[in-house]
Amino acid sequence: MAMLELEKVRISFGALTTLDDLTLHVNKGEIVSVIGPNGAGKTTLFNVITGVYRPDSGSITLDGQNLVGKDPAKVTRSGVARTFQNVRLFLNMSVIENVMAATFGHTHAGLFSSALGLPRSRREEADVREQAEELLRFFGTRLTGYRWEEPAYSLSYANRRRLEIARALATKPKVLLLDEPAAGMNPKETHEITEVVERLRSEKGLTILIIEHDMHVVEGVSDRVVALDHGVKIAEGDFDSVATHPAVIEAYLGRKAAETK
Amino acid sequence: MDTPQTSAEDSAGRAEVVLGIGTDEWVARHNERLIVDSGPLARLKDTASKIPNLVRWLLVLLIAVAVPLGTSNPYIMRVGVNLGLFILLSYGLNIVVGYAGLLDLGYAAFYGFGAYAYALVSSDQLGHHWKTYISVPIIVVATALLGFLVSLPSRRLMGDYLAIVTLFFGQVFVQVVLSSDSITFPWATDSIDITGGSNGIPALDPFVLFGHKFLNAKDYYWLLLAIIVILTLTITRINRTRIGRAWRTIREDSLAAQAMGISINRLKFMAFIVGAALAGLAGTILSAVQGAVFVNGFDLPLLTLVYAAIILGGSGSLPGAVMGAIVMSLLPEFLRVPSYSEILFFVVLILVIGAMRRSIKSFAITLLGIFVTGIIVRGIFLSLSVKSLPRDEWATGVIGRFLSHWLFVPNNRLLWGNASFVLLIALIAYLTQASPTIKRILLPVAAFLGIFLWEVRLIQQPSTTRQLIIGTMLIVLMVTKPQGFLGKARVEVL
Ligand SMILES: Nc1ncnc2c1ncn2[C@@H]1O[C@H](COP(=O)(O)OP(=O)(O)OP(=O)(O)O)[C@@H](O)[C@H]1O
Ligand SMILES: [Mg+2]
A27: DSSP letter: E
Distance (Å, whole) CA B140 – CA B131: 14
**Cβ contact, residue pair B24, A158, below 8 Å:** yes
DSSP states of B388-404: BPPHHHH--SHHHHHHT
**Per-residue confidence (pLDDT) for residue B327, from 0 to 100:** 85
- CA dihedral sign, ordered B185, B188, B194, B198: positive
Cα B410 versus chain centre, distance: 36
Tell me, using a 6 A CB cutoff, whether residue A40 lines ligand 1. Answer: yes
Distance from residue B461's CA to the centre of ligand 1 (Å): 61
Is residue A7 classed as helix, strand or coil in its secondary structure? Answer: strand
Q: What is the DSSP letter of B203?
A: -
A186-200, A243-257, B467-481: least confidently modelled range: B467-481
Interface mutation target, options B260, B263, B274, B483, chain A, most CBs of A under 10 Å: B260
Q: Are A105 and B22 inside 8 Å of each other by CB?
A: no
Q: pLDDT digits over B203-231, tens only?
A: 778 877 787 877 888 889 999 999 999 99
pLDDT over threshold 50, residue A60: yes
- Ligand 1 lined by A86 (C-beta under 6 Å): no
Nearest CB to B262; choose among A81, A104, A159: A104
Is the C-alpha dihedral spanning A245, A251, A254, A256 positive or negative?
A: negative
- Residue B7 confidence class, pLDDT cut points 50, 70, 90: very low
- Contact between chains at A115 and B237 (C-beta distance less than 8 A): yes
Q: How confident is the model at residue B336 (pLDDT cuts 50, 70, 90)?
A: confident
Element (H, E) at B426: helix B413-433
Give the closest of A84, A104, A156 to B256, CB-based: A84
- Report how far residue B208's alpha carbon sits from residue B133's, in angstroms, rounded to the nearest whole number: 8
Q: Does ligand 1 have an atom closer than 6 angstroms to the CB of A207?
A: no
Length of chain B equals 494
Please give the Cα distance from B439 to B433 (Å, whole number): 9
Phi and psi at residue A149, to the nearest 5°: -95, 0
Residue nearest to atom 24 of ligand 1 (CA): A38
Predicted confidence at residue B304, as pLDDT, reads: 84
CA B260 to mean position of chain CA atoms: 34
| Max mean pLDDT range (A147-161, B108-122, B200-214) | B108-122
Residue A215 above 50 pLDDT?
yes
**The predicted structure's pLDDT at residue A117:** 84
Instruction: Search chain B and give the residue with CA nearest A82.
Output: B259
Q: In this model, does residue B355 exceed pLDDT 70?
A: yes
pTM, full prediction: 0.80
Average pLDDT over residues B368-384: 90
Element (H, E) at A242: helix A239-243
| Assigned CATH for B71-334 | 1.10.3470
Interface test with B, best of A43, A70, A77, A91 (most B CBs within 10 A): A91
Q: State the virtual CA torsion across B218, B223, B225, B230 in degrees, nearest 10.
A: 170
Give chain A's domains with CATH numbers: 2-79+173-260 (3.40.50.300), 89-158 (no CATH)
Residue B3 has pLDDT above 50, yes or no: no
pLDDT band at B5 (very low <50, low <70, confident <90, very high): very low
Average pLDDT estimate for A202-209? 92
Instruction: Tell whether the model's pLDDT for residue A183 goes beyond 90.
Output: no
Higher pLDDT, B98 or A98: A98
Q: Which of A63-67, A233-237, B235-239, B459-463 has the lowest mean pLDDT?
A: B459-463
**Would you call B249 and A81 a contact, using CB atoms and an 8 Å cutoff?**
no
For residue A225, give how far its alpha carbon lies from the nearest alpha carbon of chain B (Å): 25
Question: Residue B285: which pLDDT band, with cuts at 50, 70 and 90?
Answer: very high
Please report residues of B whose CB lies closer than 8 A to that of A103.
Answer: 242
Q: Is the CB of A43 under 6 A from ligand 1?
A: yes
Residue of higher predicted confidence among B47 and A67? A67
Radius of gyration over every alpha carbon of chain A, rounded to an integer in angstroms: 19
When pLDDT is averaged across residues A113-123 and rounded to a whole number, the result is 88
Q: Average model confidence (pLDDT) for chain A?
A: 89
Residues of B in contact with A147 (CB under 8 A): 24, 28
Q: What is the mean pLDDT of residues A233-245?
A: 88
pLDDT at B1 over 50: no
For chain B, the domains span 4-38, 71-334, 340-460
Q: Please state the separation of Cα B216 from the chain's center in Å.
A: 27
Residue A239 C-alpha from the chain's centroid: 20
Nearest to B283 by CA among B293, B273, B274: B293
Q: Tell me, what's the pLDDT at B431?
A: 81
* DSSP reduced 3-state for B18: coil
Min Cα separation B173/chain A (Å): 29
Q: Is 50 exceeded by the pLDDT of residue B143?
A: yes
Bridge partners, residue A17, by sequence: A12
Band of pLDDT at residue A127, cut at 50, 70 and 90: very high
The mean predicted confidence, pLDDT, of chain B is 80
What integer is the mean pLDDT of B478-494?
64
pLDDT higher than 50, residue B18: no
pLDDT higher than threshold 50 for residue B12: no
Q: Residue A36: CB within 6 Å of ligand 1?
A: yes
For residue A149, give the chain B residue with the closest CA: B28
pLDDT at residue B158, rounded to an integer: 63
Per the CB < 8 A criterion, the answer to whether B116 and B178 are in contact is no
> Is pLDDT of B254 > 50?
yes
Taking contacts as CB-CB distances below 8 angstroms, the residues of chain B near A171 are 260-261
Distances in Å between the alpha carbon of A204 and those of A192, B329, B435, B474?
Answer: 17, 55, 61, 52
Whether the pLDDT of residue A208 is over 90: the answer is yes
Residue whose C-alpha is closest to residue B199's, from B293, B275, B119, B84:
B293
Q: Considering every ligand atom shown, identify the ligand nearest to the alpha carbon of residue A42 and give its number.
A: 1
Separate counts of helices (H) and strands (E) for chain A: 10, 10
Q: Tell me: the pLDDT tens digits for A16-30?
A: 889 989 999 999 999
Secondary-structure breakdown of chain B: helix, strand, coil percentages, each rounded to the nearest 5: 70, 5, 25
Determine the 3-state secondary structure of A184 from DSSP.
Answer: coil
pLDDT of residue B137: 93
